A and B are shown apart, each in its own frame.
Chain A
Amino acid sequence: MKKIISTVLGILFAFSLNASVANAAAKEVRVAYFLEWPSPNLEDMNKKAYAKALGVPVKWTNFTNGVAMTDAMLAGDIDISYSQGLMPYINAVKAKAPISLVDVAMEYGMGGTTCVTSKKSGITKANASELEGKKVAVPLGTMAEYVFTESMKIVGADRKKMNIIAMDPEEGAAALVSGDVVMACLFGGNSIKSATSVGTRLLTVDEARAGGIMGIDIVSVTNKFMKENPGMVKSFVELTHEANARFRAGKSDLKAMSKESEMKVADMNDTLSGFKFLTPKETKKSMKSGNLAKFLKGFDTPRGTVNTKFLP
């Protein structure tokens, strides 16, 4: 009997121990990022400039989607998510995740996130309503889902009538190649490349821009990290903007960037051409009243999670 009680108490005690390890002392900053999603600050990552700027080692971990980034932040494994998509962020904040938006990583047209229809299906912008009743691959909960929804509004097809299959970009591209789906919405240079080898973009980059489809990737931090290490957040944001300025001036080390993003330089430049890295001033405007603010408002995001005080 005693043994039973002691076992039970032991189990209860083990449960009570908080699983997430506190990172209060911040001996290391853990940053999440994407492969195949180039940005000027990858050069600094390559040259360990972040560790110098923050004064502590910086550990970069790559993720395949922004939802997983939030998961890791909630579990206490990631402090800063660089270039998290706005959709995963909005979903997380709506689910009351304690994270904040501190910077805009980039704005992009449909260059980086797009829907591709297969050539075999013969579906283009003109007869897009034929998508109804057919199978389309969409990575739900990501920016690609937003692009999908908006594109369907532009071409006048009813997304409710489509057979939407939840697939990550790599699998979506594979399904498009094998002909399982007639359209795949995806992001990531390599995925788009393999999809466009058998298909065409439903909307060209210009058409998408004209239709007001624009993606925004952001930098999010856990509230705990932000409250405890505001200096580090500031240094991180500052260095990122320095890298962006260097890129705008054409002084970036493209080789280092391509190495870290695991893309060929030519492919990377192609992807980068669709990105717009904002200046600190533009960022502030976007966050307060510009594109970002409108976007957040359009999705009924709870207010008070955007913080502009770390911008240089």
Chain B
Amino acid sequence: MITGFLTFLFFFAIVGSILYGRKLIKTEKVDAVFGNPERSKGGIHWVIVGSSFLLLVWLYYSWDIAKSFFPKSANELCQVGKVNESLLSLKYLFPINERQLKSTSVIETETENLDNTIFYIKKSDKVNSQNKEKLINFVTKTKSTIPLLTNEKLLNNETKEQIRIVTEKINNLAKDFASIDYPNESPEEKTKRIEASIEEGTWSASSTSVENTIEIPSIPKTKRGLKFQTAAVELNLISDQFFELRNHNQQYKTVLENLKKEIKDFRSGLSPSDEISSSFAKDILKIARRIEYASIFPPKTLKDMQASIVNFDEVQKKEQGGLRWVDILLFPSGTIISSGPSCSEQGSGRWLPKPSDTVNKFALMLNPNVGFKQIPLIWYEMMDVSKIIGFLLPDWIADILPGEYPIHNEKGEIKPNFKSKVLNFVTGDFELFKIPIPTGHIWDSFLRVFLGLVAGIIVGVPLGLFMGLNRFAKGFFDPLIELYRPVPPLAWAPLVISVLGIDNLGKVFLLFMVSLSIMIISARAGASGTQLSKIHAAHSLGASKWQILRHVIFPNSLPEILTGIRVATGMCWGTLVAAEFLAGTTGVGFVENVAKKYFQYEVIWITIFIMGMLGLIFDITIRKIIDKTIPWRGKG
């Protein structure tokens, strides 16, 4: 419902904005020639077109439009899929979707395989000439079995009759299929089916659990669906009947039996040193058996059957009616496919979840009681302030106090003394008051990036400035930094994780490495880019070294530094997700990695959106800081 409304909204937004844009061009200032920056200003309507178009493409390729306008189409297409599935094996025999008749292509490959075998037998120097002759004889005999299968005259009457029956069955089915009251369903059966289909649910991802159970209901909900399902069941029986059929006439059987026996005798008669000959014989037998198993028929025998299948295919396409157009137009790049007991979306609908499903699942996961793997996406927990004290104070304070820790007495009680109380205090094992602390996957990822970034800034900026101003620092640190900077951060990941562990420390250190090099480079560029005249001016006014650094060089390099922070943020996000892929218990990257293992495409896309959003928030925040703190940017 909402999706349908949104579809129209986006559509009209696009059309309206384009019309508005065209009108605007006409009223544009005439003096704004090409190249004038004036021309790129404004244009919020193009933003609307861009984002509406993106959302429309998402709605379309995730098949959400199909779902909102034709909610039953998936169920019906599932039944059509069942028919196609049961036709698949039969169709594959004929040049319907293929270029060749299956018999033709089998004969072609096997003849080639036999020729190759002769070639290898002749070439082999480990087979004596006597055995060579025998082996080539086997190959020729195998080859001679093929005409026995493709000769129309040798075809058994029984086989002919069977093929006729199968053909007739398909034709009858096609005839029944076209009639309106196929299949016959009693009212009781109908109520039963409708009840079962209601119980099965509708076409959508589960909105009550992170895992999806049934996405596409497979019990037919409509009359048309039932028709296809019934036909699919019948077709399966027909197909099975046909594939049980083997074109093995008496002559073929005798020749093959003889061949098998001869090869067996030949192999048992060989001495152990003739292993190669034995394996050649085995290969020939394999080919012979493959020919036996393949459904090879005389060229014209299956003509009628082919016609009947083509006919049925046409009838079923016609019976699809409007559904066919829904399938073509609203299920782009893929369709609903039936496989075994269930139906599934195959194509873009599989890996691109529907916006409606994604929003539902996101709302579900935001619920702190659900989250992902028992951890909420983002929530808060109450933490005692004492924990912070415990973290800040080192534990050895208690150890260096005089005295001993308490020992239990004979009654089994432990009486705390001063030393143990101090220990409780420095380890944070006491109660003060509680404050809410954010927690969850998103918060963990955020914190890692934030810490890595801050650490990089704290170390990188002074070091960069120092390098920009001092010959020693430049010379000393330059080789180190220039060597590690060009390495892609991810290349460090396995190493850092082995050395510093899989905890936050390793990940934060990795991000620190990423941000550090960027911060050094930008701070250094900022420091060395300060205009000399400004430094001279400060000097002549009697500024000290520190004052010059604080009031001239630092403000001058701030624009560069802040741009560096923006770049570093982006890099940190990219690295973080990959680091969380490698080893993780929490974090957005961890969620994505686990979701991938369970094929939860909605969750994968949710994590992608979260990462995009967080990156955007970081970027906007920094842009705001830049605007606030350095109004002189671009004006010096």
Contact = CB atoms under 8 A, between A and B. Distances in A.
A91 B342 CA distance: 14
Contact of B342 (A24, A56, A302): A302
Contacts of A304: 340-341
A181 B583 CA distance: 11
Contacts of A1: 22
Contacts of A137: 583
A211 interface: no
B501 interface: yes
A18 B335 CA distance: 10
B498 A223 contact: no
A67 B342 contact: no
Given A15-B348, A98-B339, A141 B583 contact: no
Contacts of B583: 137, 165-167, 171, 175
Interface in A91-133: 91-92, 94-100
A303 interface: yes
Contacts of B286: 52-53, 235
B294 A92 contact: no
Contact of B597 (A91, A164, A228): A91
Interface of A: 1, 12, 15-19, 24-25, 52-53, 55-56, 67, 70, 74, 88, 91-92, 94-100, 135, 137, 140-141, 160, 163-167, 171, 174-175, 178, 180-181, 223-224, 227-228, 230-231, 234-235, 302-305
B503 A96 contact: no
Nearest to B506: A180
Contacts of B462: none
B332 interface: yes
Contacts of A135: 502, 585
Given A98-B344, A141-B598, A178 B293 contact: no
B420 interface: no
Interface in B80-116: 85, 88-89, 92, 97-99, 105, 109-110, 113
B149 to A, nearest CB: 15
Given A18-B334, A180-B502, A230 B594 contact: no
B594 A166 contact: yes
A197 to B, nearest CB: 16
Given A95-B598, A230-B89, A55 B110 contact: yes
A305 B341 contact: yes
Contacts of A91: 597-599
B340 A231 contact: no
A302 B333 contact: no
A56 B333 contact: no
Interface string B123-154: 00000000000000000000000000000000
A141 B597 CA distance: 6
Contacts of B499: 178
Given A53-B286, A55-B287, A97-B599, A165 B502 contact: yes
B63 to A, nearest CB: 13
Given A74-B350, A302-B340, 9 more contacts: A52-B286, A67-B597, A92-B599, A96-B216, A160-B374, A166-B584, A178-B499, A223-B85, A302-B341
Contact of B503 (A19, A160, A180): A180
A1 B342 CA distance: 46
A127 to B, nearest CB: 22
Interface string B261-293: 000000000000000000000010011001001
A29 B593 CA distance: 30
Sort A-B residue pairs by CB-CB distance and give the 6 closest, nearest first: A98-B339, A141-B597, A96-B344, A304-B341, A95-B599, A227-B88
B444 interface: no
Interface string B175-213: 000000000000000000000000000000000000111
Interface in B462-506: 494, 497-499, 501-503
A23 to B, nearest CB: 12
Interface of B: 22, 57, 61, 85, 88-89, 92, 97-99, 105, 109-110, 113, 211-213, 215-216, 243, 283, 286-287, 290, 293-294, 332-334, 337, 339-344, 346-348, 350, 373-374, 494, 497-499, 501-503, 582-585, 590, 593-594, 596-600
Contact of A181 (B334, B497, B502): B502
Nearest to B89: A227
B594 A228 contact: no
Contacts of B502: 135, 165, 167, 175, 180-181
A137 B344 CA distance: 33
Nearest to A70: B599
A59 to B, nearest CB: 16
A25 B597 CA distance: 31
Contact of B61 (A15, A92, A223, A305): A15
A238 B178 CA distance: 43
Contacts of A98: 337, 339-340, 344, 346
B280 to A, nearest CB: 10
B348 A234 contact: no
23 contacts: A15-B332, A17-B333, A25-B99, A52-B283, A55-B113, A74-B346, A94-B213, A95-B212, A98-B346, A141-B597, A164-B373, A164-B585, A165-B585, A166-B584, A166-B590, A166-B594, A171-B497, A171-B582, A174-B498, A180-B503, A223-B339, A228-B88, A303-B341
- Highest count of chain B CB atoms <10 Å: which of A56, A160, A224: A224
Nearest to B374: A160
A17 B88 CA distance: 21
B427 to A, nearest CB: 17
A16 B342 CA distance: 25
A67 B596 contact: yes
Nearest to A234: B293
Contacts of A302: 340-342
Contacts of B590: 166
